[in-house]
Amino acid sequence: MEENPLIIALDFKGMDEVEAFLEPFRGQNLFVKVGMELFYKEGPNTVYRLKELGHRVFLDLKLHDIPNTVMRAMKSLAGLGCDLVTVHAAGGRAMMEAALEGLEAGVPSGLSRPSCVAVTQLTSTEEAHMKTEQLISVSLRESVYHYASLAKISGLDGVVCSAWEASGIIQRLGNGFLTVTPGIRMGTEDHQDQKRVATPEMARELGIHAIVVGRPIIRAANPVEAYGTWMKSWRGASQ
Ligand SMILES: O=C(O)c1cc(=O)[nH]c(=O)n1[C@@H]1O[C@H](COP(=O)(O)O)[C@@H](O)[C@H]1O
């Protein structure tokens, strides 16, 4: 992954909205995330179009199924030419290994396989709910560290976690293991459904590799200006 990207979550209803959002960014190469809403509506053309426009694509479908199904699904996704994909670590080691097997089998010749990161505990999850709803009795941090270790043992490239656990993961698993962090807010705006939240400055100081930002940029009155402000906060003095 290139130098600490800010990944814009394109959480839009369809490609018309995506094209309208991207138009004022013409000439800039962004790192964008395609999630379930957009992919389920528009399908593979989403990825082809974004690649044609020169953007890097995080295809975030959070696969979680039996190993054979995930292996075959990843084979299809690798063929689209995306750069980064996700699975749920809760699917287990065999499923994560199968995901990598599928990605390696499906990658078009001449391209490198997409990076694959595992979602640990969603940033919308609070410790109390994890304990009552998932019946996990360790702390939320311990649960995230456990999933991150499992993802590393399985050969994955990193994890999706909140900023609250990222530095512990980097300490335990090394700086080469990616930490991709949503739940980022400037501090002033509504957290919406996010619970484990941090500012871009905090994320930078914690050594996080990539942040994912959706609504604060895509719903901003002036998204280009908002992106510039966010990039300055995320990159700090180097921007
Ligand atoms: O895998 C993800 O990207 C993800 C994992 C997670 O734990 N939390 C999380 O918010 N996300 C995604 O990150 C984006 C965050 O969007 P905003 O809350 O609008 O900034 C959404 O597209 C979520 O689907």
Distance CA 77, CA 62 (A): 12
1 within domain boundaries: no
User: Which residue range(s) make up the domain with 49?
Assistant: 6-238
Letter for the amino acid at 47?
A: V
Q: Is 157 in the pocket of ligand 1 (CB under 6 A)?
A: no
Interface predicted TM-score (ipTM): 0.98
Running along the chain, 239 residues long, what does each successive block of 10 average in pLDDT? 90 98 96 98 98 97 98 97 97 98 95 96 96 97 98 98 97 97 89 91 96 97 97 82
CATH label of the domain that carries residue 152: 3.20.20.70
Tell whether 208 is covered by a domain. yes
Ligand 1 contact, 214 CB (< 6 A): yes
Q: How far is the CA of 162 from the centre of ligand 1 (A)?
A: 10
Question: How many angstroms separate the Cα of 101 from the Cα of each of 71, 76, 153, 177, 188?
Answer: 6, 12, 14, 19, 43
Please report whether residue 73 resides in a domain. yes
- Which one of the listed residues 41, 51, 65, 152 is annotated catalytic? 65
| pLDDT value for 23 | 98
**How many domains does the chain fold into?**
1
pLDDT of amino acid 188: 75
Q: Please report the pLDDT score of residue 233 as a whole number.
A: 96
Q: Which residue's CA lies nearest to atom 17 of ligand 1?
A: 214
- Is 189 within the bounds of a domain? yes
In this structure, is residue 56 part of a structural domain?
A: yes
Tell me which residue has its CA closest to atom 22 in ligand 1. 9
User: Is 44 a domain residue?
Assistant: yes
Is 95 a domain residue?
Answer: yes
Is 213 a pocket residue for ligand 1 (Cβ < 6 Å)? yes
Q: Estimate the crossing angle of helix 140-153 against helix 163-173, to 10 degrees.
A: 40
> What is the per-residue pLDDT for 237?
65
pTM to 2 decimal places: 0.96
Residues linked to residue 63 through DSSP beta bridges, in sequence order: 87
165 C-beta closer than 6 A to ligand 1: no
**Residues 220, 190 contacting (CB under 8 angstroms):** no
Is residue 155 in some structural domain? yes
Give residue 239's pLDDT.
52
- 224: which 2 tokens? 């280009």
Q: Is 16 a known active-site residue? A: no
